[in-house]
């Protein structure tokens, strides 16, 4: 009898869990309705970042570039001198975190890439922010870099950070006959002052 009760409870818990999950995903992907409007924040908190629905695999123009992001910091030492670190490969850190991980999180896989895509879509020539979204994207990239370095580095306080990227087009398959320039183009952003927050 105790084992039957345990099995029944386990089945009930799994059933409720699956029902909650399916309901949340349905409310996330369904057109806006009364329930999704009322409980939008709850649904978003549940969905992001682990269960986000992203259909870029089926997009007419899937990603055709490899983007690599590096950052460096300017550190103020206790004696007042400043030191600039070398470029730290943030993309390689993300790749190392997900390699051989059977269940990597979406944040590990996408946070940096999505932040950079958001940045490039909301900035014009000479890295000028386009409206409020441009400023938000800049803050987002800056916070990711600041979090990765931390407030203290190499025995000093991090005062400024700088980001650079390298974008390389993926070569077309040999059978397609397309010519693709696979040279890497680099973009270096100006120094950003680290916020106290």
pLDDT at 33: 80
Can you tell me the distance from the alpha carbon of 111 to that of 92, in angstroms, rounded to the nearest whole number? 13
Q: Identify whether the C-beta of residue 149 lies closer than 8 Å to the C-beta of residue 73.
A: yes
When pLDDT is cut at 50, 70 and 90, the band that residue 40 belongs to is confident
- 127-180 pLDDT, tens digit per residue, is 888 888 888 989 999 999 998 888 888 888 889 999 999 988 888 777 777 788
Tokens of 76: 């103020």
For range 59-86, the mean pLDDT: 83
Q: What is the largest CA-CA distance in the chain?
A: 73
- 73-108 pLDDT, tens digit per residue, is 999 888 888 889 899 999 998 888 888 888 887 777
In 3D, which of 85, 136, 134, 144 has the Cα closest to residue 113? 144
pLDDT at 28: 85
For range 12-24, the mean pLDDT: 93
pLDDT at 18: 94
pLDDT at 57 > cutoff 80? no
pLDDT at 196: 64
Q: Is 62 in a helix, a strand, or coil? A: coil
Can you tell me the distance from the alpha carbon of 167 to that of 77, in angstroms, rounded to the nearest whole number? 34
Beta strand 192-193 pairing with 156-169:
antiparallel
pLDDT at 26: 86
When pLDDT is cut at 50, 70 and 90, the band that residue 59 belongs to is low
Rounded (10°) angle between helices 131-149 and 90-98: 70
Q: Report the alpha-carbon angle 195-130-193, nearest 5.
A: 15
pLDDT at 184 > cutoff 80? yes
Residue 163, classified by CB atoms within 10 Å of its CB into exposed (0-12), middle (13-18) or buried (19+), is buried
Can you tell me the distance from the alpha carbon of 130 to that of 166, in angstroms, rounded to the nearest whole number? 22
């Amino acid at each position: 009898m105790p084992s039957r009760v345990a099995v029944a409870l386990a089945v009930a818990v799994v059933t409720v869990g699956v029902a909650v999950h399916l309901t949340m995903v349905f409310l996330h992907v369904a057109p806006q309705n009364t329930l999704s409007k009322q409980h939008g924040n709850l649904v978003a908190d549940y969905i992001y970042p682990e269960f986000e629905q992203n259909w870029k695999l089926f997009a007419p123009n899937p990603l055709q570039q490899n983007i690599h992001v590096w950052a460096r910091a300017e550190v103020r030492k206790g004696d007042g001198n400043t030191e600039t670190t070398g470029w730290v490969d943030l993309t390689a850190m993300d790749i190392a975190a997900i390699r051989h991980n059977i269940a990597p999180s979406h944040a590990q896989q996408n946070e940096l890439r999505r932040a950079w895509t958001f940045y490039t879509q909301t900035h014009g020539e000479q890295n000028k922010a386009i409206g409020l979204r441009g400023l938000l994207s800049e803050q987002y990239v800056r916070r990711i870099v600041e979090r990765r370095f931390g407030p203290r580095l190499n025995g000093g306080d991090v005062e400024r950070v700088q980001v650079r990227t390298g974008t390389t087009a993926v070569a077309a398959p040999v059978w397609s006959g397309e010519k693709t320039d696979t040279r890497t183009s680099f973009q270096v952003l100006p120094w950003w002052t680290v916020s106290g927050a």
